[in-house]
Structures are given as C-alpha cells and as structure tokens.
Amino acid sequence: METNPQSKQEKRKYSSALRLWHWLNTLVITGLLTTVLINSTLNDRRGAVQAYQENTKNVSLDAAQIQSVIHQQEDRVWDIHIYFGYALTALLVFRLVLEFFQLADQKFIRILKVTYQHYKETKEHRFKAQKKFGVKLVYAVFYLLLLVMVSTGLTLVFKNDLGIPKTISHNVKEVHGFSMYLILAFIAAHLMGVYLAERKDQKGITSDMINGGD
C-alpha cells in the first residue's frame, strides 16, 4: 500500500515554509548584527582617528579629514544594514501571512493557546507544562521584538519623508538599539535552550528544524 505524500507532510512538526523562514531569518539577523558590530568597532570614529594618525605618519591628514573618510565607510555599512532590514521586513510579513496557511496543529497562535491550556489544567508534571508554555511565550516576545525592530528601523530610514522631528527620531533610535540587545539575549537563550534540549529530553530538535521532524 502506497503512502499518501500529503498525509506524510501533515505529520511533519515543521512545514518547509516555516523552516525556510527560520534559516533565512537567522542569516538576515546575523547580517544585521554583523553590520552593527563593524560600525561599533572598526568604524568607531574616536579609535579610528587615533589609529589612522599612528599608522599613516607619512600622510598629512587632520582629524576632520580622517573622520570624513570614516563617515563614508560607516555610511556604506549602514546602507548594507538597511538592505538587511528590508529583508527582515519581508520575512516578517512572510511569517505573518504564513500563519494563516499553516496546518492547524502548526499555527503558532494555536500552539500557544494549547500549551497554556495544558499548563492551566495539568496536575501532574506541572513544571514540564510550565516550561513548555514559558518557551512558547518567549517566542511570542521574540516575534513582538521583530515587529518593533522592523517598525522602528523603517521609521528611521524614512524619517525625512515622514517629517519626523529630530527629538522623536532620537527616541525611536534608542528603542531600535535597545531591541537589538533584547534580540541578542533571545539568541543566546535560544542557543542555550537548544543545546540543553539536545542533551536531555529533545534529542534531534536541530535536525527537526532542518528536515521537518516526524
């Protein structure tokens, strides 16, 4: 008797579209964080001026000229950062649309409700139920952070077109930067959680996000 490919696909824990989103999202966020790291280290103006002056003794450049060169380099990196930001925006929209087309047992909202209901009703293994709900809640916060990152990033890119005052754009920039640190914290917690899960009761969790799981 032949196996129905559709029924086999429905047994997958993660759809191919969700897995594609997960790994593309990983690459894009890595690109965004890398550009921030480059501009905060290699293109740091104070340190770069001193480095240029110490290593270009035969070149006559004052601090203002050096800062102008660094500023140009910084702008090029930020341009790349913006392109990654557009990609993140597209991926977030894709994820929101995907939620409507996922199989019922793969919809994030439904999974969140089910784990919460299980946590409320369970009497035995309560800690395990609490842990599962907590993990899903953290993912919900991560999606919210992505929304904040995208909305504040787009606001900064189009602040002149939107006529946003300088004081407000500064506050938006602060929120954008703080969200980045929260996402870094999520990434660290996520990697640690996956590592611990692989060593304990959820072996193959990484493989499942590659091949879909059973």
Interval 85-104: pLDDT, tens: 999 999 999 999 999 888 88
> How much is the pLDDT for 155?
96
Q: For the chain, which residues make up each domain, given as ranges?
A: 12-88, 107-214
* Amino acid type, 15: S
Instruction: Provide the whole-model pTM.
Output: 0.81
Range scoring the smallest mean pLDDT among 102-106, 139-143, 161-165: 102-106
Contact 8, 210 (CB under 8 A): no
Phi, psi of 164, deg, nearest 5: -80, 130
Q: In the chain, helix, strand, coil percent, each to 5?
A: 80, 0, 20
pLDDT digits (tens, 9 = 90+) for 11-39: 457 889 999 999 999 999 999 999 999 88
Lowest model confidence (mean pLDDT) among 88-97, 142-151, 164-173, 197-206: 197-206
Give the integer Cα–Cα distance in Å for 153 and 149.
Answer: 6
